[in-house]
Amino acid sequence: MGVEIERKFLVIGDSWKTVEPVTLCQGYLNTDKARTVRIRTSANEAFLTIKGITSSISRPEFEYAIPIDDANELLLLCSESIIQKKRYALPIGDVVWEIDEFFGDNAGLIIAEVELRYEVQSIELPNWIGKEVSGDSRYYNSSLASMPFSKWVD
């Protein structure tokens, strides 16, 4: 079984924009609390990802490459809005920070994620890291598809 161990943070400033981004499009076929089923495309690749329920900062994750044409058809079946974002991958120390700059209904939101080998792994936080939002389900991409950042009241 695959396991994703991930921490999420809000981003401050734009000093992290030092690499070329990849444009991603993703939609959700299922956003049940116990499981999500995601389709993600980039320019030449597509993936089907199934994630289980989150416990602390870990959850089961299974990801499979699929044909891009199939992914584009599956995106049409997604019940919520499609997430549009640019992803910047920055290797720092022994981890890779992925900074997602959202567009569309989530414009203005920038989140940094870092995948860890184990939950208590210590990491150095870059100076552009803001508040940690790992436990706040509003920042899950599956939540942003159904309740976009532009519709938040607080």
Q: 129: which strand partners?
A: 11
- DSSP reduced 3-state for 133: coil
Q: Are 24 and 13 in contact (CB under 8 A)?
A: no
- DSSP reduced 3-state for 129: strand
Give residue 138's identity as a one-letter amino acid code.
R
Q: Is 28 an active-site residue?
A: yes
Catalytic residue among 28, 64, 88, 140: 28
Residues forming the active site? 28
